[in-house]
Amino acid sequence: MSAVVRVWLAGVLALTVSATALAQESKSAALAKELSAALEAAKLDSIAAKDPAKPDVFYAALYFPGTQLLVVSAQYSAPLAMDGQLTKKNYREVYLDLSSASVPGSKVFIEDLGANGLVARPRDEETFDAFEIAGKRTSFDGDWKKQQLSEEDYMKAFSAADQHYREVLAALLAQAKKAS
């Protein structure tokens, strides 16, 4: 194999790997759409649930039909009080409490604009999603340089955010199905 062919093949392989990383499929997309449909069917604009693995961590979402899901997950210092809110189906109150009175440093906030799951690289003119953990915000607008990230770090952040979002959505969807 000639040196020219090897260089050409290496370039094609690099482009393929890069394109694959950029086109990474969202793990949260199907669940976000399913949760949106469940909330609409139940005529709910909010939902909340307990983390099935951690008794003092809760999830909540506000839903704006066809527009966005705003999701928060956090540890709460008075889990019995939060359990009471869940029993009463005071989902909006849970959302507000988690947003404002959660254990410091434990809050994760997700803005899913489009309510279609997280998207690593939105198309031109599309809104972009964001993920905030412990006060550090990552905007998934495709411009990792603006956020002083490498492309690899940007995609790692996206993958971690998408995985967390998928877990939260699964718990919220289970609760929405019970609520309807």
Task: Identify whether 126 is part of a domain.
Answer: yes
The answer to which of 11-20, 21-30, 43-52, 106-115 has the lowest mean pLDDT is: 11-20
Tokens read off for 85: 């809110």
Q: What is the pLDDT of residue 25?
A: 66
The strand pair at 108-113 and 46-50 is best described as unpaired
Burial 139-174 (b: 16+ CB within 10 A, else e): bbbbebeeeeeeeeebbebbbebbebbbbbbbbbbe
Q: Answer yes or no: is 109 within a domain.
A: yes
Residue 120 CA to residue 132 CA, distance in Å, equals 15
Classify the C-alpha dihedral 89-167-148-136 as positive or negative: positive
Residue 172 has pLDDT above 70, yes or no: yes
**Residue 84 resides in a domain:** yes
Q: Is 17 among the domain residues?
A: no
pLDDT in tens, 122-153: 887 788 999 999 889 999 999 999 999 999 99
- Residue 143 belongs to a domain: yes
The model carries a pTM of: 0.83
Query: What's the total number of domains in the chain?
Result: 1
Report yes or no on 13 lying in a domain.
no
Q: Is residue 145 part of a domain?
A: yes
Q: Is the pLDDT of residue 1 over 60?
A: no
Q: Using the predicted structure, report yes or no on whether residue 94 has a pLDDT greater than 50.
A: yes
3 band by pLDDT with thresholds 50, 70 and 90:
very low
The count of C-alpha atoms lying within 13 angstroms of the C-alpha of 122, restricted to the half-sphere facing its C-beta, is 16
Look at residue 8 and tell me if it is in a domain: no
Average pLDDT over residues 14-26: 47
Mean pLDDT of the chain: 86
Range of the domain at 105: 26-179
Look at 16-30, 32-46, 50-64, 71-85 and tell me which has the smallest mean pLDDT. Answer: 16-30
